[in-house]
């Protein structure tokens, strides 16, 4: 038993009755909070913050001190696995992540081995254990990883990309080699998430940030199939409870039916997808997470509340909805607007669970 005081998230992910819709925010531990910026300055670089379990725990807990969130999410980066593979992750101020040694040849791929997360990413597991201890059963902890395809895009492009021409040309011209890379990544991601679960993660989310840049057939071949492979390798129970898996493909709203077959318990939706339509399409196969436009947090608290009401009405009556943004909260958001957002979910959602 987990002895969780608030298990709304776990229950909603498994479509079990809840008193209100649980809520958390992607990137809830982040730059929009002044206390985060202070911890970041204290740590040094972004990776110094990720690799320091005490500080990673501190920033993970910061949003929970301000807002009644129904979950904590491990503070880390999606690119820890390629970093552990020796590619040399670094961040330039104002730029996205970059790798010192991108994957550039067949020999580079041959040289990659499945990451032993317990050993090579022990700082992440230390952070998970520290956070669990400090949470003390208040809310569940979500672990996460980037999807194999998403990791591959950064590894081959050497950083962020506008059109992914390098990694796509590679996938189109040398599919066997790309499948070899994705296989190593999938087994690494599976081991990484398994270790996070063993260290105390009670939910895991796979962030497929760039699967939606692929065509529909390429998405299935190069992204979805490897997320399915990851999920098939995960322990699905820990501490006597099921460990739900959330699959979030940004820009993947056209492919929900295919994603259902991945074995995920929940599909994350970005804000372009009509939640009511999504619920009809997936039926009772999975729960849904999302999906307010994160830029709505730049609107007034009154407008934010209207939008929360609209999203809640979109899903409608019953359990199976986890409220979230459709992507991460952005750095310039006013923290008071986040407060208005969370409060609106808390106040407006109970009416959808009265027969629960």
Q: Does 253 bind its own copies (CB under 8 A)?
A: yes
Q: Using an 8 Å Cβ cutoff, are 251 and 272 in contact?
A: yes
Q: Which stretch binds its own copies (CB under 8 A): 21-29, 37-45, 115-123, 325-333?
A: 325-333
Q: Using an 8 Å Cβ cutoff, are 276 and 317 in contact?
A: no
Q: Which of 109, 296, 312, 329 binds its own copies (CB under 8 A)?
A: 296
Distance CA 228, CA 231 (A): 5
Helices (H), the chain: 8-13, 34-43, 46-50, 53-66, 80-82, 106-110, 117-120, 122-135, 148-157, 165-173, 175-199, 216-218, 225-232, 256-260, 275-282, 301-315, 335-348
Q: Does 169 bind its own copies (CB under 8 A)?
A: yes
Q: Using an 8 Å Cβ cutoff, are 320 and 15 in contact?
A: yes
Q: Does 293 bind its own copies (CB under 8 A)?
A: yes
Q: Which of 11, 15, 98, 168 binds its own copies (CB under 8 A)?
A: 168
Q: Which of 92, 217, 240, 284 binds its own copies (CB under 8 A)?
A: 217
**Lookup: tokens for 204:** 């895991």
Q: Does 51 bind its own copies (CB under 8 A)?
A: no
Residues 327, 328, 332, 335: is their CA dihedral positive or negative? positive
Smaller CB separation from its own copies, 15 or 168: 168
Phi-psi region of 329 (alpha: psi -120 to 50; beta: other; left: phi over 0): beta
Chain mean position to CA 169: 27
Q: Which stretch binds its own copies (CB under 8 A): 35-43, 64-72, 130-138, 291-299?
A: 291-299
Q: Using an 8 Å Cβ cutoff, are 274 and 313 in contact?
A: no
Q: Does 50 bind its own copies (CB under 8 A)?
A: no
Q: Which stretch binds its own copies (CB under 8 A): 29-37, 73-81, 134-142, 246-254?
A: 246-254
Q: Does 91 bind its own copies (CB under 8 A)?
A: no
Q: Is 166 helix (H, G, I), strand (E, B) or coil?
A: helix
**Closest distance to its own copies from the beta carbon of 178 (Å):** 12
Catalytic machinery residues: 27, 31, 40, 77, 154
Phi-psi region of 289 (alpha: psi -120 to 50; beta: other; left: phi over 0): beta
Q: Does 45 bind its own copies (CB under 8 A)?
A: no
Q: Does 176 bind its own copies (CB under 8 A)?
A: no
Distance CA 87, CA 81 (A): 9
Q: Is 248 helix (H, G, I), strand (E, B) or coil?
A: strand
Number of residues interacting with its own copies: please give it, by CB under 8 A: 34
Q: Does 353 bind its own copies (CB under 8 A)?
A: no
Q: Does 160 bind its own copies (CB under 8 A)?
A: no
Q: Which of 45, 295, 334, 351 binds its own copies (CB under 8 A)?
A: 295
Q: Does 326 bind its own copies (CB under 8 A)?
A: yes
Distance CA 23, CA 346 (A): 8
Q: Does 102 bind its own copies (CB under 8 A)?
A: no
Site residues for its own copies, 259-288, by CB under 8 A, read: 271-274
Q: Does 221 bind its own copies (CB under 8 A)?
A: no
Judged by the rule CB under 8 A, the positions of this chain that interact with its own copies are 163-165, 168-169, 172-173, 212, 214-219, 251, 253-254, 271-274, 293-296, 298-300, 303, 307, 310, 326, 330, 332
């Amino acid at each position: 038993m987990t002895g969780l005081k608030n298990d709304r998230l776990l229950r909603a992910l498994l479509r079990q009755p809840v008193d209100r819709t649980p809520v958390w925010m992607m990137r809830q531990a982040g730059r929009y909070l002044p206390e985060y910026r202070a911890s970041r300055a204290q740590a040094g670089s972004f990776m110094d913050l990720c690799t320091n379990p005490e500080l990673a725990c501190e920033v993970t807990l910061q949003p929970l001190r301000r807002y009644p969130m129904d979950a904590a999410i491990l503070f880390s980066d999606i690119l820890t696995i390629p970093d552990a593979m020796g590619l040399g992750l670094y961040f330039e101020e104002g730029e996205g992540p970059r790798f010192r040694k991108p994957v550039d040849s067949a020999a580079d791929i041959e040289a990659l081995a499945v990451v032993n997360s317990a050993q090579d990413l022990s700082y992440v597991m230390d952070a998970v254990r520290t956070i669990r201890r400090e949470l003390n059963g208040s809310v569940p902890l979500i672990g996460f990883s980037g999807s194999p395809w998403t990791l591959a895009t950064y590894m081959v492009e050497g950083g962020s990309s506008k059109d992914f021409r390098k990694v796509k040309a590679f996938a189109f011209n040398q599919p066997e080699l790309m499948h070899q890379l994705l296989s190593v990544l999938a087994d690494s991601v599976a081991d990484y998430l398994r270790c996070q679960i063993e260290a105390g993660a009670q939910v895991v989310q796979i962030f497929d940030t760039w699967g939606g840049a692929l065509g529909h057939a390429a998405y299935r071949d190069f992204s979805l199939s490897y997320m399915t492979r990851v999920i098939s390798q995960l322990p699905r129970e820990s501490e006597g409870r099921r460990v739900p898996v959330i699959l979030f493909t940004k820009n993947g709203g056209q492919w929900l039916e295919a994603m259902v077959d991945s074995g995920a318990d929940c599909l994350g939706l970005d804000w372009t997808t009509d939640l009511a339509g999504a619920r009809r399409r997936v039926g009772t196969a999975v729960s849904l997470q999302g999906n307010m436009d994160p830029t709505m947090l730049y609107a007034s608290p009154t407008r934010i509340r209207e939008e929360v009401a609209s999203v809640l009405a979109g899903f409608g009556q019953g359990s199976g909805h986890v409220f979230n943004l459709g992507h991460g909260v952005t750095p310039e958001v006013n923290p008071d607007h986040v407060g208005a957002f969370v409060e609106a979910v808390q106040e407006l959602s109970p009416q959808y669970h009265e027969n629960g």
